[in-house]
Chain A
């Protein structure tokens, strides 16, 4: 093993608390340990700041002190594996779900999951968007057999309780945060230069899930009607097109 790697092993061990490992390389031990604290703090801060940027709704719900303490602990247990931290924290929602101090806040992991989807939507690839007139040239039979593909930035999450409304309210800075008991979904997309989101019902969720699975439009519409017989499916589809959630059709003919 090289002397450079020996040193780096000792340095990392020293930052984790075993300062004696660095003794062979330290000129003045007490001063050396003060310097080590500077590095340790900088690393912790880099990780915590990245998590704060990626989980702003969690931060707003639990407050700065709770968040930074939890994030620092997460960073020690699940350190970054890449230098680009804009994506850091993929495991944070699941980790919060297991984090005992979060058990008083049973919705926190779900909120973190929605923050994570927001970050994913923000950094996804660019792609053109289906325009409303795209279907006018199709016969009703062709339309029924058409498959529409979701834009890469689209994310959909469905919850048994009304977590999406709570997340949206918290994201908009609302003070009154109530968790309703009815099932809800959240749709996130990136139609322009920012991430847009809205709470959706079971018909939208079923429709988008069917599109994601590659089913033809007729089947997707059937599943949406089944999920919510009262839904206005024409308006539902038109609104999703206006949201910018679909890619343009591959070609005018069904496959």
Chain B
């Protein structure tokens, strides 16, 4: 099947999501929001899954923590993967747990050889537990760290080579990180191993209202034009890939999100026509 465009599922939009007839539409959720014994959220996701392909996009496994993934969390994730049979499972190149406490964010680290060993091991543990390969997403960065032994693209390529994982390229994160840390987003995208890329994320960002001059990955605005341009550049090079519109704050009507989703869908179809 040709790669198509999907939407992050908002439960406030459940009725419209279930009724939507667009060809190729799929949905993505954070599995952490469905890690309960039962209840209406899981029932809603079941109804969505009966109609549409689903992607599980984890935000809490903390693969870059200096410890093994939390077995309870991994078990819960495995339960959701078995129940909902997602077409893709993804996680982030980041950490959030530290000495038993959880920081709900995707935190940075120096890309050293030690970090590479630890994260490759954690991705292997995740893939072994789930019985499938996963995609790893590039983070949005705000802190100019020293002590990196690898560029982020080389680090991601090394994880792919070591674990067989794929990549989820968040083009908005590439744009933000390149702006915040002062490098070229185009060169970053061009350096990613094309065959490993299994999904693309598009989202909106906002300037820091604290006045720092940083761009923040708020998911509270439409996808910005420079991000669309980077997306076009990426798919021109690698071909069409499943593409998600993410929106997690200041959420507009479902139909407004569908307009963005349909824009991505049209670009994918045009790209498909060229890449056949």
Question: Which A residues fall within an 8 A CB radius of B?
Answer: 2-5, 7-9, 11-12, 15, 24-28, 31-32, 34-39, 41-43, 46-47, 50, 79-87, 122-126, 152-153, 190, 193-194
Contact = CB atoms under 8 A, between A and B. Distances in A.
Contact of A79 (B65, B101, B115, B210): B101
Given A26-B145, A35-B180, A35-B214, A122 B40 contact: yes
B212 A8 contact: no
Contacts of B84: none
B86 interface: no
Contacts of A42: 104-105
A93 B3 CA distance: 48
B125 interface: no
B39 A190 contact: yes
A32 B32 contact: no
B213 to A, nearest CB: 8
Given A12-B103, A79-B103, 16 more contacts: A2-B66, A3-B110, A4-B66, A8-B109, A24-B147, A26-B144, A26-B145, A26-B146, A38-B208, A47-B104, A79-B102, A80-B101, A84-B35, A84-B73, A123-B38, A194-B40
Contacts of A11: 98, 107
A83 B109 contact: no
Given A8-B65, A86-B32, A35 B101 contact: no
Nearest to A192: B40
A25 B43 contact: no
Contacts of B141: 35
A4 B115 contact: yes
B167 to A, nearest CB: 21
Given A35-B180, A38-B216, A83 B38 contact: no
A4 B104 contact: no
Contact of A38 (B62, B147, B212): B212
Contacts, number: 152
Interface of B: 32-33, 35-41, 43, 59-62, 64-66, 70, 72-73, 76, 95-105, 107, 109-110, 112, 114-115, 118, 141-147, 180, 208, 210, 212-214, 216
23 contacts: A2-B66, A8-B66, A8-B107, A11-B107, A12-B103, A28-B144, A31-B144, A32-B145, A34-B142, A35-B141, A35-B180, A38-B208, A39-B107, A79-B101, A82-B72, A84-B73, A84-B76, A85-B32, A86-B36, A86-B41, A124-B38, A126-B38, A153-B39
A152 B99 CA distance: 33
B66 A43 contact: no
A37 to B, nearest CB: 6
Tell me if A's interface is mostly helix, strand, loop or mixed. helix
A150 to B, nearest CB: 15
Shortest Cβ-Cβ A-B pairs, 5 listed:
A83-B60, A46-B104, A35-B142, A123-B36, A34-B212
A37 B210 contact: yes
B100 A81 contact: yes
Nearest to A30: B212
Given A82-B73, A83-B61, A123-B38, A35 B143 contact: yes
A39 B95 contact: no
B59 to A, nearest CB: 7
B170 to A, nearest CB: 16
Nearest to B101: A79
B142 A38 contact: yes
Contact of A81 (B38, B61, B102): B102
Contacts of A46: 104-105
Nearest to A126: B38
Nearest to A194: B40
Contacts of A47: 104
Contact of B143 (A8, A26, A50, A123): A26
A124 B39 contact: yes
A81 B70 CA distance: 11
A56 B143 CA distance: 35
A35 B144 contact: yes
B66 A83 contact: no
A12 B108 CA distance: 11
Given A83-B32, A83-B61, A83-B70, A2 B114 contact: yes
Contacts of B98: 8-9, 11-12
A51 to B, nearest CB: 11
A84 B60 contact: yes
A43 B94 CA distance: 14
Contacts of B114: 2-4
Instruction: From A2, A84, A87, A152, name the one whose CB has the most chain B CB atoms within 10 angstroms.
Output: A84
B102 to A, nearest CB: 4
A93 to B, nearest CB: 20
Contacts of A80: 101-102, 104
A123 B151 CA distance: 42
